[in-house]
Amino acid sequence: MRIERVSDWTRPAMLRAMLRDAALVLPGVLVAGVAAWRRGGVLSLIAVLVVGVLLAGASWWRARQYDRAWLVTALDAARGDLEDSSDLIFADPAGLGPLQRLQRGRVAARLAAAVPDLAPRWPVASIAGLWLAALVTVAALLWWPASEPAVLAPAAEGGPVVPGVPRLVGQRLTVVPPAYTGLPARPLDTLDARVPVGSRLEWTLRFDPVPAGAAIVSPEGTRLPLVRDGDWTAQRVAERSFLYRVVAEGGATPPLHRIDVVADEVPRIRVVAPSRTLTQVTAGQRGWTLGFEVTDDYGVAPAARLRLVLAQGEGENVSFRERALTLRASGDARRRRFGASVDLAALGFRDAGDLVAQLIVADSHGQVVRGPSLILRRPPAALAESGLEASVRRVMPAYFTSQRQIIIDAEALIAQRARLAPEAFVAKSDAIGADQRLLRLRYGQFMGEETGGGATAAMPTSDAEEGATPAHSDDDGHDHKAGPATFGDAGDVTAEYGHTHDESEAATLLDPGTRATLRKVLDAMWQSELALRQGEPRKALGPANTALRFLKQVQQATRVFLARTGTQLPSVDEGRRLTGKRDGIAPALPALVVEPVDASPAAAWRGLASGVVPLEPLTRWLRANEGRVADPLALSAAIDAVRRDPACGACRQRLRGALWSVLARSAPGVRRRADGGASGRRYVEALR
């Protein structure tokens, strides 16, 4: 070594320090690693490795203290004969004064004569103790039984015990239901289970003798390998029902087990109050009490929403307002009760109308259901009639009041005439005229007119598309009046502007008197519209009032009847009947084809009774028709049981039973009676 090179001093020290750290820490890491491997699995092992790397970094960080300053201090402390001048040894000689150089030479010579060992000393006792303890612990970890051997239920796979062939001797199936069920994990002694959908299944199995490998195998062949950890374990999440068997390498094929998945049910809502869906508001009622009982298989969410829709108004003028209340539940999680008291005044439910309440509730799985709509009805005050007549009357005035509104609007416009600009006046008048036109068209429908029966199909209310062929052409089957149209031709309004295509007799359901009145209404409306469009509302008032008066008359005529449809067929000429050639006119009966049925289930069913069982076609059939079989898993398991042990009588009976439910029933056949042999024939003949 060159004594003036610092690194020659520090590097061994650093190395020694790091080795010492390693010697001190490694036993701990080793113990932790072994423990993690034995108990925690791969993840814990990786965590231990990460901690080890971090510790190594820390050790390296610590070793960086062995630098020049440390060297000078250590040399000075170690050797008195260096006269606290060791600093000079490592200084650049070029930068030193002559005296310093002399001192450096002396000190260096002394140092070179006896090079001290500055590296930290080995804590031999601690290292030995730690390693001993660590080795003992590791040995204990390695040789200690992996875990307390779990108490497993004895297996019930059946089958003969053959020495040297692995077979299942212990079993436990732990079902960890999903969180929404709120159920605790439950260990089962059987390998068949009914579990909530989404449950995690954990198998703990024990074989004797221990096989080289084992797996959970589905009949289709998918494998879930079992991991040896003392006992053999595996886990999987059950999303749908399945069959499986526990197969040990070198062992026999054991029977199938079945996991049935129970789907989460949606909550069921029962209305406790009110007792009927439709309730009428009683006199003086201020509030509305609602009560619901919601049941679910696992749990109902503690909060529910009550949707309140307030529908108020009459006829076409109904307004809707929607509100939602949040309800808190009481009672057990699986049977919760929700109650609400709705303040009618606060909701603004004062006039006639309906208040509709609906409970929207979710279960713990997040499945939302809506309850039935409960209606609280406040009937209109002046509703005298009842039944169909009442409902007809209630609907009709919505159309008729508009004529009154047109008169009111027109009168208001006339009153404003002085204050309005002429253009604005004409525009407003025209707008009222448009209203009048819409109303006229509406009544025109009752008369069998066409909807767009105005002057042109380009009107904004026309349903016909732009550029579509006009509804009328010269050859559409009825006369088109030639010549200029004259406004005000009262009797011919429809013929002029929108003459009827359909037969008005058939299109209307009104008696002739009403029809005549309605026609007068239309005429008057047309006059009114004409005046309004021309900006002369004063002239329109007369016809508008006439129309209103006739409308009132129509309102009185509530009788509706169907139009007569004449059946005046030409009389049959009996003389000509059946006189033509009829050779070969009778059609040949179409051949009937019996729908073929896949005979595989029936063949297997019969075969099971006699001995020969074609199981392969049956399996193929089942795979193709899985959706049509009520319980394909049971059938699949029964087929598997027979395949494993074709001689097992009970298995064959079970498969026959399962097959019965999939056997198609042919059309009921006819089994003729026996004639009783010769004596029976003689007897029957003697009866004559």
Q: Which is nearer to other proteins, 230 or 607 (CB)?
A: 607
Q: Which is nearer to other proteins, 102 or 609 (CB)?
A: 609
Q: Which is nearer to other proteins, 145 or 649 (CB)?
A: 649
CB atoms within 10 A of CB 83: 13
Q: Least distance from C-beta 667 to other proteins, angstroms? A: 3
Q: Backbone phi, then psi, for 295, in 5-degree steps?
A: -120, 150
DSSP single-letter state for residue 471: S
Reading the block at residue 146, the tokens are 């992996």
Q: Least distance from C-beta 589 to other proteins, angstroms? A: 5
Q: Least distance from C-beta 661 to other proteins, angstroms? A: 4
Q: Which is nearer to other proteins, 305 or 606 (CB)?
A: 606
Q: Least distance from C-beta 440 to other proteins, angstroms? A: 49
| SS3 label, residue 521 | helix
Contact 222, 254 (CB under 8 A): no
Q: Which is nearer to other proteins, 269 or 658 (CB)?
A: 658
Q: Which is nearer to other proteins, 385 or 626 (CB)?
A: 626
Q: Least distance from C-beta 245 to other proteins, angstroms? A: 24
What is the binding site for other proteins (CB under 8 A)? 578, 582, 585-587, 589, 592, 594-595, 602, 605-606, 609-610, 628-630, 649, 656-658, 660-677, 681, 684-685, 687-688
Q: Least distance from C-beta 686 to other proteins, angstroms? A: 11
Reading the block at residue 550, the tokens are 């006739």
| SS3 label, residue 53 | helix
Q: Least distance from C-beta 295 to other proteins, angstroms? A: 24
Contact 305, 325 (CB under 8 A): yes
DSSP string, 633-658: HHHHHHHHHHHH-TT-HHHHHHHHHH
Q: Backbone phi, then psi, for 656, in 5-degree steps?
A: -65, -40
Q: Which is nearer to other proteins, 78 or 648 (CB)?
A: 648
Whether the upstream peptide bond of residue 570 has omega within 30° of 0, thus cis, is no
Task: List, in sequence order, the alpha helices (H) in 217-368.
Answer: 344-347
| SS3 label, residue 155 | coil
Q: How far apart are CA 119 and CA 133, in angstroms?
A: 26
DSSP string, 432-466: HHHHHHHHHHHHHHHTT--TT-SS-TTSTT--SPT
Q: Which is nearer to other proteins, 92 or 583 (CB)?
A: 583
* Identity of the residue numbered 466: E
Q: Least distance from C-beta 235 to other proteins, angstroms? A: 34
Closest CA to 103 of 123, 84, 116, 122: 84
Contact 118, 8 (CB under 8 A): no
Q: Which is nearer to other proteins, 562 or 589 (CB)?
A: 589
Contact 304, 326 (CB under 8 A): yes
Please enumerate in sequence order all residues whose Cβ is within 8 A of that of 656, keeping only pairs 6 or more positions apart, or say none.
Answer: 605, 608, 609
Q: Least distance from C-beta 673 to other proteins, angstroms? A: 5
Q: Which segments of 374-419 are extended strands (E)?
A: 374-378
Q: Least distance from C-beta 579 to other proteins, angstroms? A: 9
Q: Which is nearer to other proteins, 1 or 624 (CB)?
A: 624
